[in-house]
Chain A
C-alpha cells in the first residue's frame, strides 16, 4: 500500500513538473512555431500546426545579415563574462574568507545598484560614452555589460566560496602557499563548478540584455537584440518575421543551455536552497 501511494505521488509530482515546465517553455515554443508560418497565418489566431514555410527566415536573412549580429553577441557576452569573473573572484574571495563587520553591508550595497531602473542613468552613461568615443564600440559595451552583471557575479561566487571550508586554505598557507597560489591552485579548482555555473548564467544574462545593447550601438557593435528589434513595427504585419528573428537569436543560447543544464541547475540551487 505504502509503495502504491509513493508511486502515485511520484506520478503526480512528475506530471506537475511537466505541466509547469511546458507552461514556462510555451512562449518560446510558440515563437518557434510562429516562425514557420506565413504572415497571414500568424495573425489568424491561435494554431499549433504551422504550414512549415521558411519564407520568414529567408526574408529575415535577406533584410539584415544575421552573422554580424551573432558575432557581436558572442564577443560581448563572453568578453563581459570573462572580465566580470576576473574582477569578482578576488572580490568574493576576500569577502568569503576574511569578512569584516561591514562585508554584509558592502554586498547589499553592490546589489542595490541593480534596483535602480536602467533608464535613470541613460543620459549620464550616454554622455560618458560619447566623450570617450565609446558609442557603438564593442569595448565600451563589454565593459557596460560587465558592470551591470558584476553584482550578481560577486554574490554568486561569494555564496560558493562560503561553502568551501576555510581550513583547507589555512592548510595551504601553512604549507607556504602565497596568496596568489592559494587562489589559483587551491581555491579555484574547488570552486570550478560554481564558477562555471556563474559564467553560464552571466553569458545568458549578457546575451539577453536589451536595454543598453540597443541604446549604445548603431551598426558596428550591435548584437542580436538589435537584430530582433529591427523586425517589429506598429503598422503592418511582422509576427512571423519577428518570430523567425527571435528564434535565430535565442537558438545558440538555448542550445548552450541545453548542453550545460546540469551545471546550471547545480549552480543555481547550490548555495541558495541550503
Chain B
C-alpha cells in the first residue's frame, strides 16, 4: 500500500514537473492557404519538441495588424511569434520592438534566403524576421486571346505593349476586358499597385528631404496612363476592385491581362477554380526602360516581439517553420506545387519544384527584379517598393488611395487628385516632423 502511494505520488510529481516545464507559445497569424497548411503540420514540430505547446490566433490581415501593433506598442506580451510583413519589420526593428534572429540553428542556412527578401527583413545587417512565404507581382495573361490579337507577349513587356495588347484584346460584346487592375482604395490595395507602377515611370513618393513628389511630371504620367488604360480597357466599376474581385473576373475569363501578386498564379492555374486554367501565361511586370519594373515585393514573415518571456521556444518554432526541412515536409505531404514560395533560392533550383510549378521561374525573376532598399529610379530616403516604411504611411497611403480611386471613377480629374495628394502628403510629413 505504502509503495503504491509512493509510486503514485512520484508519478504525479513528475507529471507536475513536466507540466511546469512544458511551455506554450502563442502565434498570431493571417488566414491564407500556406498558414492554414502550417497549422495542420505542426505535429512534426511538437514531436521533435514535446516541451513546447503551440496556440494559434488567426485573424484577418487588417485586424491582425491592429491587434499586434497594440500589443507590441504596449508590451502586452500576448504573443510570442507574430506574422508580419515587409512593411512592419523595418519600422518595428528600429523601435527595438523585435528580437534579432541570431539563433536559428546551425543547419538553417540563412544565406539561402533570397537576397531581395532578406534585405527587406534586415536592419543594419541583422535579420529581424524570417520569411515564411514571399511574393512579387507580375503579368498574368490569356495566351489564347493574345494569339487572337496577333501579338506575342515578351518575357519583359513595356507599358506601351500592355496598352497596345489591352486595346486589341478588349471585346466588350463578349464581356472581355483587356486588362484588370486594382482600383479599390487602400494602402495595401490600389496604392500597392500604383506605387510599384510609379517606380517604373521614374516617380517616387518623396525626395531625399522628404518633400512629396506628386507635383512632378512622373506621377502625372503614371496616373494619367493608369486612368486612360482602365477607361479604355478595364472592367466596369474598376474603382471598387481589389485582389479578390479581379481574381474572380480573371477566373471567369473576363480579363485579357491581370497584373497582381505572384501568389495568384496558383489560383488562376487551378482547373477546379478557374475556367481559363490551361490558357494562362506569365510575364514580368512592365517597365518603361528606366531600369525599374512595376512589380512589388512582399513577404509574410515570422518575428519575435521583444516583450516575450519565451524567446528560445519562439525562435525554435520560427526556425522550424521557415526551414528547408519544412518545405520538404509540405512537399512530401501535399506535393511540390503547395510549398510556400518565394523565400529560399534552393527551392527554385529544385527540378521537382520547377516541374510542379510552371510559374516558378517567373516568380523568382520578379522577386529578384525588386529591390526594397533601392526601389526607385531617383534616390529616396525610405525603404519599400510598394510602400514607404514609415509609421505614417498606412494613413497617408489610404488617403492618397482614395483620391486616386476617385480619379479612376471619374469623380475628379487626374490633376485635381494629384494636387490634393500633394497637399495631404505635405501636411502629414510636416506634422510628422519630416519636413522642418
Contact = CB atoms under 8 A, between A and B. Distances in A.
Interface of A: 39-40, 43-44, 63-64, 122-123, 126-127, 130, 135-136, 214-215, 218-219, 222, 226, 229-238
B63 A218 contact: no
A219 B272 contact: no
A130 B243 CA distance: 37
B263 A136 contact: no
12 contacts: A43-B244, A122-B70, A123-B74, A130-B74, A214-B67, A215-B70, A219-B57, A226-B57, A230-B57, A233-B32, A237-B247, A237-B267
Nearest to A234: B61
Given A40-B272, A126-B70, A215-B70, A235 B58 contact: no
Nearest to B33: A236
B224 interface: no
A123 B70 contact: yes
B401 interface: no
Nearest to B78: A218
A39 B26 contact: no
Contacts of A238: 31
A232 B139 CA distance: 26
Interface of B: 26, 28, 30-33, 36, 39, 55-63, 66-67, 70-71, 74-79, 188, 242-244, 247-248, 252, 261, 263-264, 267, 272-273
A215 to B, nearest CB: 6
Please report whether the interface of chain B is mostly helix, strand, loop or mixed according to DSSP. mixed
Contact of A219 (B56, B242, B244, B261): B56
A141 to B, nearest CB: 13
Please report whether the interface of chain A is mostly helix, strand, loop or mixed according to DSSP. loop
Given A44-B248, A44-B252, A135-B76, 18 more contacts: A43-B248, A122-B70, A123-B74, A130-B74, A130-B76, A130-B77, A135-B78, A214-B59, A215-B70, A219-B55, A226-B59, A229-B63, A232-B60, A233-B61, A234-B60, A234-B62, A236-B244, A238-B31
Contacts of B79: 218
A225 B273 CA distance: 29
Contacts of A222: 57
B31 A230 contact: yes
A43 B273 CA distance: 10
Contacts of A40: 272-273
Contact of B273 (A218, A235, A237): A237
A173 to B, nearest CB: 51
Nearest to A238: B31
B32, B56, B60 interface centre (most CB from chain A within 10 Å): B60
A126 B95 CA distance: 20
A165 B299 CA distance: 68
A122 B57 CA distance: 20
Contacts of A127: 74
B60 A233 contact: yes
Contact of B31 (A135, A214, A233): A233
Contacts of B26: 218-219
Nearest to B249: A43
A43, A231, A238 interface centre (most CB from chain B within 10 Å): A43
Contacts of A135: 76, 78
Contacts of A136: 78
B57 A229 contact: no
B261 A235 contact: yes
Contacts of B31: 230-233, 236, 238
A135 B61 CA distance: 21
A64 B74 contact: no
A9 to B, nearest CB: 42
Contacts of B57: 218-219, 222, 226, 230
A18 B435 CA distance: 60
Contacts of B36: 63
A234 B55 contact: no
Q: List 6 tightest A-B contacts by C-beta distance, closest first.
A: A230-B58, A232-B60, A233-B31, A219-B55, A43-B248, A130-B76
A64 B76 contact: no
A236 B267 contact: yes
Contacts of A233: 30-32, 60-61
